[in-house]
Chain A
Amino acid sequence: METNPVQKGLAGMRMSNESFITLFMIGVLIALFGAACVVVPNFYLPQNMINLLTNNWYIIIVGIGVTFLLITGNFDMSVGGVIALTGVLSVYFCQGANVSRNELANGLGLPYGVAIALALLGAMSVGAINAFFIARLKVPSIIVTLGTMMLARGTAQVITRGAQRNTSLPDVFGVVGNMTIQGTSIKVSVLIMVALVAAAFVLEKLTVFGRRTYLIGANPEAARLSGIKVARHLTWLYILSALLAGITGILLASEFKAGVSSRATGYEFDALVISLLGGVSISGGFGSVLGMFVGAVILSVMTSSATGLLLSPDWQFTLKGVVTFLAILAQRYALDRRKG
């Protein structure tokens, strides 16, 4: 077939596959939202729309780290465990010392700021363990992070005796997680999520650090031979991912004024699902934080329309699974068609 110059010119201006997938998934989102508005009563109300964008804030924050790592071709399955661990640690560090005969009510009695800092340090040390095994010893990331997932949650269980700690906490502990922006019902946590997504977008698209993330995912061997310090880069990313999970853990612990060892069970899978929904490639080198955000909202639309339809929670999980499957199939199909 002959291509005329006009077509060639257009070909040169074609958008990247990444923008294509993000736009495609925004299309899917709008279609799902439209359908939900028709079927589900009151779905179109502004308050509901705001909820859709905001009620998944904790998954989106950990999704940032998971997305960056997926782009390098690595998994982080430890984020759920890290959320639980950090929450429990922050509570334990903050609880008054020797105030009760109940051991679960006794903590270390540290000042709030110190407690938070130490808890985050605990989170980052899980990230450092991940990085050591994955980047230095070259153990497959899925194995390592499944291990640290259990290690982190296990430590949280030990500290809480398999339950939770929620007494003898200073009032300041519950402030940040329950604060809202004046005059609205939007939580500060959501604001933090938006700020982090914006920062991640800048980091990913505009910086050398972001570029290296893609290069490593696209071809780790070529990256190494091009002088990129692959191990060091992965180390930073795992620590970053654990830090984000730690921030989430502290916000959630503050919101409920409790450190619960079973908190965030399965969040690592939700974070993975929204990344994949957003077009991040499991083989690395492809995807974006913005796509992940769109994926999160799709998941949110699905969950809340299921609730709106009064579907029993038993069915919600199945529905989630089916939609995830269909969305990813549609994505692959669209991408393959585009190549031809």
Chain B
Amino acid sequence: MGLTENVLEIRDLVKDFPSVRAVNNVSFNIRRNTVHCLVGENGAGKSTLIKILTGALQRTSGRILLNGEEYWARNPREAKEKGISTLFQELNVVDQLTVEENLTLGMEDTTFGFLRRTDKISRIVSVMNSLEPSIHPRQLVSTLSVAKKQIVEIAKAVASESDIIIMDEPTAALSEGEIARLFKIIKGLRERNVTVIYISHRLDEIFEIGDYVTVMRDGRHIDTKPLSEVKDRAELIKMMIGKTVFEQYTPKEGPCGEVVLRVRNLSTHKLRDISFDVHQGEIVGFYGLVGAGKTELARAIYGADPYEGEIWFRGRKLPPSTDRVIAAGLALVPEERRSQGLFSILTVRANVPVMNMKKVSRKGFISAAREREATRAFIDRLRIATSSTEKEAAKLSGGNQQKVVLSKCLFADADLLMLDEPTRGIDVGAKSEIYSIIREISAEGKSILIFSSELPEVINICDTIHLLYDGHLRETIRNGCEIDSERIIHIVTGGA
């Protein structure tokens, strides 16, 4: 056997981004034909590491050995040719083609540009048949469920003789039965000479499927060990969060005001029977991992998506329509700043007053002077770094763009402000500025809902924290007393 014991060896791997070292001196080995799990909180560096492996990002320094040989991929295609395939959350299948066409996509044999049927195709098809006989090769991929589409992708990776298949949260969109089938296939991959790198926030799955686990935290490698040596979830969680020191949270002085928002039995395709109250001046956090239903909850309250159940605001039932929700006094800073919040090709001045044009217009005519004045006021108040009110929003930095979106919502004079991932992708300085703005507006008696997948964020600023897992509101915690972050992680990763 010329094969090395370790299929992949990572040595002193470093990846620097402009303001942060995302992967910091990481070294570990992955043994051949095992299921190797990778865990860590959001921002621990898992995604960056995976992107380096798949060629989507280039390392700053360090070495990677694949089968004992130096490995370097400039793009995902090259990574695949060298033996590392990836099953992304966003599946890479073409809906309009058949299963067979998808399997052979990019490796067709042709004569003068015409497709030729070869043995290769029948071999690939037979691999898929052995994995999941119920999928017909001539079936259109668009008729398959997400789970079966995944299997098509796995079959493609196996047939192209990949050494490693990376699976990034493969169960996020699957039902329990589908998960069981996927796990059976993953276990079977060992015999096919395939190593699986498995990333998931659901810790129970890790114990069920994994042979080894590697824990990352703040860009560093914490430990790699066989799962048989990990006692329980608690031990894993301890490794994941370490002794995180949180900024001091100062509890709100005095009692909270009356109830302003009352949500009862809210359900959507993703959410299950969610009920809670929000008081005047309260900062309420919704913490959960990716896919827990935070954005869905924010959008439902905002009237952007249909829902069942009742939402009452200041004693009136909220209509399920965004413009009327805004008129009732709510505003949302959406998750995707560029595609949902910002008018990036327009100027800062055109962005700020959007949600309350009445304040800068009379009888339908805009007062340019009032508009400029209002924009300048926000540029000063939020310290937006821009050379003028006439600068295109696209030309600002991420943090300043977020401040523009925030200005837009503040200008609406909303009584209840919702912020979905308010500090995603912005630097530390802008982050703390945004926190202090949030505290300021809460002190003015406005209520704030924060939807976040960053635990330090919710612990820092929220008075009440609701924990979401898989569309359910699992537990509600008052901040201020002793916060047990291990227990929080336990709950949001699916623990009882």
Interface residues of A (CB under 8 A from B): 8, 11-14, 16-17, 206-209, 211, 214-215, 218-219, 221-229, 285-286
Contacts and interface: CB of A to CB of B under 8 A. Distances in A.
B389 to A, nearest CB: 9
A16 B327 CA distance: 32
A247 to B, nearest CB: 22
Contacts of B366: 206-208, 211
A5 to B, nearest CB: 11
B365 interface: yes
B346 A218 contact: yes
A291 B229 CA distance: 72
A219 B344 contact: yes
Contacts of A218: 343-346
B19 interface: no
25 contacts: A12-B387, A12-B390, A12-B391, A13-B388, A14-B390, A17-B392, A206-B366, A207-B361, A208-B364, A214-B346, A218-B344, A219-B339, A219-B340, A219-B342, A221-B339, A221-B340, A222-B340, A222-B343, A224-B322, A225-B340, A226-B355, A227-B325, A227-B355, A285-B343, A285-B346
Question: Which label, helix, strand, loop or mixed, suits the secondary structure of the A interface?
Answer: helix
Interface in B295-351: 302, 304, 322-323, 325-327, 332, 334, 339-347, 350
A224 B343 contact: no
A226 B304 CA distance: 11
B344 A225 contact: no
Contacts of A221: 339-340
A111 B493 CA distance: 76
B408 interface: yes
Given A219-B342, A227-B326, A211 B350 contact: yes
Contacts of B326: 226-227
A227 B339 contact: no
B316 to A, nearest CB: 17
A12 B388 contact: yes
Contacts of B334: 222, 225
Contact of B323 (A8, A227, A285): A227
Interface of B: 302, 304, 322-323, 325-327, 332, 334, 339-347, 350, 354-355, 357, 361, 364-366, 387-388, 390-392, 408, 412
Contacts of A208: 357, 361, 364-366
A11 to B, nearest CB: 6
Nearest to B332: A225
B345 A16 contact: no
A170 B67 CA distance: 92
Nearest to B395: A339
A227 B327 CA distance: 8
B304 A224 contact: yes
Contacts of B327: 227
B403 to A, nearest CB: 16
Given A211-B366, A218-B345, 12 more contacts: A12-B388, A13-B388, A14-B390, A206-B366, A207-B361, A208-B361, A215-B343, A218-B346, A223-B343, A225-B332, A225-B340, A285-B345
A8 B357 CA distance: 30
Task: Rank and list the top 10 A-B pairs by shortest CB-CB distance, nearest first.
Answer: A227-B326, A12-B388, A218-B343, A227-B323, A12-B387, A208-B357, A226-B354, A226-B355, A285-B345, A219-B343
Nearest to B362: A208
A280 B340 CA distance: 23
Contact of B350 (A13, A215, A224, A227): A215
Contact of A227 (B322, B340, B347): B322
A304 B96 CA distance: 49
A189 B200 CA distance: 69
A282 B302 CA distance: 31
Nearest to A209: B364
Contact of A16 (B322, B339, B390): B390
A221 B335 CA distance: 12
A304 to B, nearest CB: 35
B346 A225 contact: no
A228 B350 contact: no
Nearest to A227: B326
Nearest to A286: B345
Contacts of B354: 215, 223, 226, 228
A22 to B, nearest CB: 16
